[in-house]
Chain A
Amino acid sequence: MSTQTDRMRFPGHAGGVSRREVLRRGAAFGAVAAAGGLLASPAVAQSRRIVVTTMPGPRWEGALRASAAAYMARTPGTEVEILVSPYAEHYQRIGTSLIEDSTAFDAHLFDPVLIGQSHPKLEPLTALFDSDPGWRDYYMNGVPYFYRGSWDWDGVPYSIVHDANCMMTWWRRDVFDALGLAEPASFETILANAEKLNAAKANAGFMTCAGRTQWFLGMTFTGMMHAYGGRWYEHDEMDAFGRIDPARGSGAVTLDAPAVVEAARMLKALSRIWNPASLNALEFENAEAFKNDISHQQVMWSGFMTLQNPAENPRFHDQLVSRDFPVGGASPDPARTGMKGGFGLAIPRASVNKEATFDFAKFVTSRENAETFIRAGGQPSNAELLNSWGEQPQYQVFRSIAQGVANGHHLAQFAEGPQLFQIITQHIGDLVTTDIAAEDACAAMKRDVETLFRRSGYL
């Protein structure tokens, strides 16, 4: 028996159909669909789906999405899904999925700070590299050793490094020319320039991302310490890639060495005259400060590339110029300054699409894909690409990146690295917000790092 409520009305069915009829039709449709699925299974088996995790923004998501679209057009039967999540969630996703040996992801946008802890769960790529000698040589020769090595462990590559990032100096050429200021190649010049810029216009002299957020201050200071010839600890050498060999240990913590204290003194001097917004600025606020004619000299990450885009920065896009991170101190070494970051594509061991994912990663870094990758907002890691594209005014920052990724200090690549940055950020924060002297801040920083290293078995 059917009642009025039993009956559903469908367009084109004036009399409606009963619930039983709907179920019957549904079952028939399901059976047909299932049969079709079975028949079509050979075709399904041929199509592959690669899942790549990333963070938002043109540099990561934009460049990977554009590359994925180009790759799919070139490689029928392969679907590349770009899965985007915010910064903190992205790192947690990597951590938890690797621990769980999840097969849900085929590549992660991978920060080298995680390599020490994560490499046993990542696919060693030596054999895959060797499977395509032409690409391997292009990649190995193109991406500077002191950069791509961050994603290696015991000489084995664990990522295809497709993205380059480092800290650098930016300034307004027209303002500098008008005031007769020198190119900010050293911190001593930056300080002198800042005083003159401030005299011309309040708070215009110097700005940096010095907030507590994301250890910006710890990163800036590490770049400065490196520029002044200092190091975190005795075995903090360029070819150690920010790692501590547990058997060798860290050696003595050297955060109170004269070069480090000198860098701290310089940061303190800058903090007395910098734009006060520096103390809580995020990258986008620094960018706004340039766009709105507020500050004219900054030390920042390379994310300012978008400011050279006329659409993003109509007023000053052609007046903003960059150079590698400044040097400082008595015997500056231009090949040792600043701080590098960046990302590669790491393939989890648990991935069931390793070859296909590697093929996609090769494509992302290839010459063939360079234009797509760069125009979508990507910052390539290949020095040849960086230098050739850097000749265009809109991409002049690429030349600074090419230098910075070779010269910069590495991120801390041991499990306790984030805590090291936290400690540096804490004490340098004290230095620039209180009356504490550089020597005392550095001594306190050293003490806390020694405690951390003792707990971790490095000392």
Chain B
Amino acid sequence: MLYPVVALLALLVAVPVIHVVVASLYRRNLFQVRPPRWVGLENYYYLVTSAKFEVAILRSMSFTVTALAVELALGIALAVWVHRMRRLPGMGLLRTVLAMPILVAPVVAAVMWRFMFQPDFGILNHFITGLGLPPVGWLSSPSIALLAIVLIDVWQWTPLVFLTVLAGLHAIPPQYFEAAELDAAGPWKQTLHVALPQVRRVIVIVALLRLIDLLRAFEIIVATTQGGPGDASYTFPVMIWETAFVAFEIGDAAAASVVLLVLVSVIVTLLVRAIARQGVVGRGQG
């Protein structure tokens, strides 16, 4: 009974990966009529020695770390707050409203924010200048563009962290909080010593999911800046897309995709191992 599953997995996962790895060993332009040329590891050599490789890695890391930190902090804080206030009227509606950004397609969210960020006639600068402040080049200032994209991602994906952690909090038996109250623990101590330790596995899982997603983040950046201005938001996935579908260099893009795959796998594996050693997930958990 195992063989069909293995065969299906091989078909869905292994075959495309092998195809990309093989493509990365050829120099091939999508519009080139002459057949692809075998170049071995040359595509990888040019990739890692190019200036844009270093830039793309740096931008990807900055984007991932910043967005992940903000989304986790905000999502957990919101979940704890909504969980504490769960008996108040209207909290169900509030929960739904807070979760709504997830329902918006990322590219739609990006275009919507792009219009709001427009420096000359966007609504955000309309309010800012109305307060007598200078207009902000949200997506056109090299020092702000990446942060503005982080803001879009935070708006869209914090609800995922919020909902997941909230579900975990709801699963904690109420007796735990009652016992803490009997021990005179206030809301802060209850959160710190009862709620968060109980949902740490949920937090780790949602953090890993967001990490993987952020390392691959693509639609929002392409729909807002395409990596610009200059290379201010030129992340690794944007580099792959630009190489494949703007420059049509399939071999180079395949090599970059393989590097991203390895990079994400290594980062996630190292993190999972580190977390497993702490006993939160995996073999070490108690």
Interface of A with B (CB < 8 Å)?
88, 91-92, 95, 98-99, 114, 117-118, 120-121, 203, 210-213, 215, 275-281, 285, 288-289, 292, 294, 415-416, 418-419, 422, 426, 429-430, 432-434, 444, 448, 451, 455
B50 touches A433 (CB 8 A): no
Chain B, interface SS category: loop
Please provide the 10 A-B residue pairs with the shortest distance between their CB atoms, ordered closest to farther: A212-B228, A433-B230, A279-B229, A429-B230, A117-B31, A279-B140, A280-B140, A433-B142, A418-B247, A415-B29
Contacts of A451 in B (CB 8 A): 46, 50
Q: Are A276 and B119 touching (Cβ within 8 A)?
A: yes
Binary flags per residue of B188-205, CB closer than 8 Å to A gives 1, else 0: 000000000000000000
With A280-B145, A426-B52 known, 5 other A-B pairs at CB within 8 A are: A212-B230, A276-B119, A294-B120, A434-B230, A455-B27
Q: A278-B140, A426-B52 are in contact. Are A203 and B120 (CB under 8 A)?
A: yes
A residues in contact with B229, CB < 8 Å: 210-212, 279-280, 429, 432-433
Asked whether A118 and B247 contact (CB < 8 A) given A280-B228, A292-B120, the answer is: no
Is A415 a contact of B119 with CB atoms below 8 Å?
A: no
User: Once bound together, how far apart are the Cα atoms of A91 and B139, in whole Å?
Assistant: 27
CA distance A264 to B71 in the complex (A): 41
**A240 and B31 alpha carbons, distance in the complex (Å):** 20
Within 8 Å CB of A289, what residues of B? Answer: 120
Question: B225 contacts A211, CB within 8 Å?
Answer: yes
Contact B225 A95 (CB under 8 A): no
Nearest-neighbour CB distance to chain B for A90, whole angstroms, equals 12
Contact in complex: B232, A117 (CB < 8 Å): no
With a 10 A CB-CB cut-off, give which of B42, B121, B234, B246 has the most chain A CB atoms.
B246
Please, what's the 1-or-0 string for B133-146, where 1 marks a CB less than 8 Å from any CB in chain A? 00001011110010
Expressed in whole angstroms, the Cα–Cα distance for A276 and B145 within the complex equals: 12
Q: Report whether A455 and B121 are in contact in the complex, using a CB–CB cutoff of 8 Å.
A: no
Q: B142 — which chain A residues lie within 8 A by C-beta? A: 279, 433-434
Whether the pair A276, B141 counts as a contact (CB closer than 8 A) is yes
Q: How far is the CA of A301 from the CA of B51 in the complex (A)?
A: 30
Given contacts A117-B33, A294-B120, A433-B142, contact A277 B137 (CB under 8 A): yes
Contact between B121 and A292, CB atoms less than 8 A apart: yes
Among A99, A211, A455, contact of B226 (Cβ-Cβ < 8 Å): A211
Which residue of chain B has the shortest Cβ distance to A116 in the bound complex?
B31
State whether B137 touches A279 (Cβ < 8 A). yes
Distance, CA A88 to CA B137, complexed state (A): 27
Chain B residues within 8 Å of A95, by CB? 30-31, 248
Instruction: Give per-residue flags for B246-268: 1 if the beta carbon is below 8 A from chain A beta carbons, else 0.
Output: 11110000000000000000000
| CA gap between A277 and B144 in the complex, in Å | 13
Instruction: Supply 15 A–B pairs (Cβ within 8 Å), ascending by A.
Output: A211-B228, A211-B229, A212-B228, A212-B231, A279-B140, A289-B120, A415-B31, A429-B231, A432-B229, A432-B230, A433-B229, A434-B230, A448-B50, A451-B50, A455-B42
Decide: B137 and A213 in contact? CB cutoff 8 A. no
- Quick one: which of A285, A418, A455 contacts B246, CB cutoff 8 A? A418
* Chain A residue with Cβ nearest B120: A294
Closest beta carbon of chain B to A135's beta carbon, Å: 30
Instruction: Give the chain B neighbours of A280 by CB distance below 8 A.
Output: 137, 139-140, 145, 224-225, 228-229
Check: B164 CB closer than 8 A to any chain A CB.
Answer: no
**Chain B residues, Cβ within 8 Å of A114:** 31
Q: In the complex, A120→B32 CA distance in Å?
A: 10
Asked if B219 is at the interface of the complex by the 8 Å CB criterion, the answer is no
Q: How far is the CA of A451 from the CA of B46 in the complex (A)?
A: 9
Task: Determine the chain A residues whose CB is within 8 A of the CB of B247 once the complex forms.
Answer: 416, 418-419, 422
B159 part of interface (Cβ distance < 8 Å): no
On whether A118 and B33 interact (CB within 8 A), knowing A285-B118, A292-B120, A434-B142, the answer reads yes
* Contact, CB under 8 Å: B245 / A88: yes
Residue B75, interface by CB 8 Å: no
A212-B225 in contact (CB<8A): yes
